[in-house]
């Protein structure tokens, strides 16, 4: 069974549609990436003055850290990921790379070439692909 059938994307990609030119897509992806990565800065600017004398100021770095993660959780569903994949933001080094991958897909959203997440697929069907293989191959390829 092909991977397109597994994910429920039965329609073929229209070859006439094409894609955005690479320089334009790169500029759009970098713009989105900067907005995602710096989305915690307005939270800091808004909350710093009211919390300056309060003991709650020590929690402000957490709010600044988790704001991009919340943005990624919302946007990830649009580009074929699950919302819980936004927890990858907590891995140092991988966070900005994963955010760039999301922004790269967002920049080309009208010309998508990845399958949409099929929420109607029963959970037992997703697990059947894993359980049907021997345990030593659960995390590897086929």
CB atoms closer than 10 angstroms to residue 30: 14
pLDDT > 70: percent of the chain: 65
Confidence tier at 47 by pLDDT (50, 70, 90)? confident
pLDDT digits (tens, 9 = 90+) for 65-106: 888 889 989 988 888 888 888 888 888 888 888 889 899 888
Name the least confident of 32-46, 57-71, 106-120, 128-142: 128-142
Confidence tier at 113 by pLDDT (50, 70, 90)? low
Q: State the first-to-last Cα distance of the chain, in angstroms, to the nearest integer.
A: 12
CB 38 within 8 A of CB 30: no
Please give the DSSP secondary-structure letter assigned to residue 110.
Answer: G
pLDDT > 90: percent of the chain: 5
pTM of the model as a whole: 0.62
Closest Cα partner for 97 from 41, 37, 38? 37
Long-range contacts of 75-84 (CB under 8 A, 24+ apart): 75/36, 75/102, 75/106, 76/102, 77/117, 78/106, 78/109, 79/105, 79/106, 79/109, 79/112, 79/114, 80/105, 80/112, 80/114, 80/115, 80/116, 80/117, 81/117, 82/117
Distance CA(70)–CA(30), nearest Å, equals 19
């Amino acid at each position: 069974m092909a991977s397109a059938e597994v994910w429920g994307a039965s329609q073929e990609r229209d070859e006439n549609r094409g894609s955005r030119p690479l320089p334009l897509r790169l500029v759009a992806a970098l713009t989105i990436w900067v907005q995602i990565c710096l989305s915690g800065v307005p939270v800091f600017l808004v909350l710093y003055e009211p919390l300056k004398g309060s003991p709650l100021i020590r929690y402000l770095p957490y709010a600044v850290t988790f704001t991009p993660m919340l943005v990624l959780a919302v946007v990830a569903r649009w580009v074929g990921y699950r919302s819980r994949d936004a927890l990858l933001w907590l891995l140092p080094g991988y966070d900005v790379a994963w955010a760039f991958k999301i922004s790269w897909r967002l920049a080309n959203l009208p010309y998508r070439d990845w399958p949409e997440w099929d929420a109607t697929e029963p959970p037992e069907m997703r697990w059947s692909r894993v359980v049907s293989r021997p345990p030593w191959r659960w995390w590897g390829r086929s």
